[in-house]
Chain A
């Protein structure tokens, strides 16, 4: 059993595909991860199941691997500072979770932005330019920089979960670069494809951070480190100043209003069409 606990999740699932369903049954959403290099034991530890649930999960995995042969079920080492399942963020981590809210508002607007994509008018192009500014200034420089330059420095950079998050950040940046190039070429299809790619990437990325990475980090941070992070995050925010986050929030708010009125116009038009019929 130890051998498989120390094997990357992707390899384990490739060898024993039924383990994917077992993990999904415990809301462990690592199965579709595109990196899949986290060790099975780290995945079990990081999800902070109760001892009973963890033992049941490992027994099912052992059953799938050893096909009914009796094997000893080990207990995964962990730091239980909170009861299993409880999600209580410390002030610095809560700051990051709160920043996710504005990013999620942008992500929620992406399908509408794609639907109304208009590269013929200056106003239409400006929406994409402002969207790219939001991703670069808020999601990346304001938010991801706090993770990369401050938070992740408190953890081993070689941990697979950290590597996975950094790969996600880089993939997001690559989507942005492609959208910039596509905008210069007026390539509507490439813009749509990469905006959608960014939306899917960040949706999964934020879910992983809010539900798995941050709670695991909380369990491993000392109180001294929590205080240090709080100070460093505040200093980082002060360095950037209030203008950038205010500008980005204003953009999201105005885009939400614009998309709402576009939807209302569309609904009115639809009603008129139905009335004519």
Chain B
């Protein structure tokens, strides 16, 4: 039976048992603006020698502790490898982050849906084209917000 695209298949999580602590207030760990990959400049000071998080758009809405566990201490760029246009520019920008901004590491955080894998592929293509080499980590998140895998891809 055909189930359609897993990336847009309707799923209802309302019955999920709420876990965790709702008390207290967390501060945002965002330390820059803009964040969308088309809008950011690799020459921005907050990217220089930074640990950069390249996050698929949906990730921040899925990971309950996104700011605390993944954004803290990093500079960010967000993109959607399925819907965004001009993805060649994305590869060039990522290459420029590696070569011109001399970023320290790149963490690519994606959803488990197949279309999200394109973001890791973009990062790998940029790394191949770049003169510098840096460690690149891929983190895959389930639709329920759990970490499915964490691996070094370059």
Q: Is A4 an interface residue (CB 8 A)?
A: no
Contacts of B152 in A (CB 8 A): 88-91, 94
Q: Closest CB-CB distance, B116 to chain A, in whole Å? A: 20
Q: Is A215 an interface residue (CB 8 A)?
A: no
Of B29-37, B82-90, B131-139, which stretch is located at the interface? Answer: B131-139
Determine whether the beta carbon of A224 is less than 8 Å from that of B135.
no
Determine whether the beta carbon of B150 is less than 8 Å from that of A81.
yes
Q: Closest CB-CB distance, A97 to chain B, in whole Å? A: 12
Q: Is B107 an interface residue (CB 8 A)?
A: yes
Interface centre among A82, A88, A231 (most CB of B within 10 A): A231
Among A82, A90, A222, the residue within 8 A (CB) of B135 is: A90
Q: Would you list which residues of chain B between 124 and 154 have a CB under 8 Å from chain A?
A: 133-135, 137, 150-152, 154
Determine whether the beta carbon of A223 is less than 8 Å from that of B107.
yes
Among B133, B137, B151, B154, the residue within 8 A (CB) of A223 is: B137
Q: Is B41 an interface residue (CB 8 A)?
A: no
Given the interface pairs A92-B135, A234-B133, the reply to whether A226 lies near B105 with Cβ below 8 Å is yes
Which B-chain residue is minimally distant from A94 (CB atoms)?
A: B152
Contact size range, A: 10 to 19
Q: Is A227 an interface residue (CB 8 A)?
A: yes
Q: Is B73 an interface residue (CB 8 A)?
A: yes
Which B-chain residue is minimally distant from A81 (CB atoms)?
A: B150
Q: Would you list which residues of chain B between 102 and 133 have a CB under 8 Å from chain A?
A: 104-105, 107, 133
Determine whether the beta carbon of A231 is less than 8 Å from that of B104.
yes
Which B-chain residue is minimally distant from A229 (CB atoms)?
A: B135
Q: Is B57 an interface residue (CB 8 A)?
A: no
Contacts of A89 in B (CB 8 A): 152
Contacts of B100 in A (CB 8 A): none
Q: Is A251 an interface residue (CB 8 A)?
A: no
Which A-chain residue is minimally distant from B136 (CB atoms)?
A: A91
Determine whether the beta carbon of B104 is less than 8 Å from that of A227.
yes
Determine whether the beta carbon of B151 is less than 8 Å from that of A226.
no
Which A-chain residue is minimally distant from B53 (CB atoms)?
A: A223
Determine whether the beta carbon of B150 is less than 8 Å from that of A91.
no
Among A82, A88, A224, the residue within 8 A (CB) of B105 is: A224
Nearest first, the 4 closest Cβ-Cβ pairs linking A and B are A227-B104, A227-B105, A91-B135, A230-B135
Query: What are 23 A-B contacts with C-beta separation under 8 Å?
Result: A81-B150, A82-B150, A88-B150, A88-B151, A89-B152, A90-B135, A90-B137, A90-B152, A91-B154, A223-B74, A223-B105, A223-B107, A223-B137, A224-B51, A224-B73, A224-B104, A224-B105, A226-B135, A227-B51, A227-B104, A227-B135, A230-B134, A234-B133
Give the B-binding residues of A (Cβ under 8 A).
81-82, 88-92, 94, 222-224, 226-228, 230-231, 234
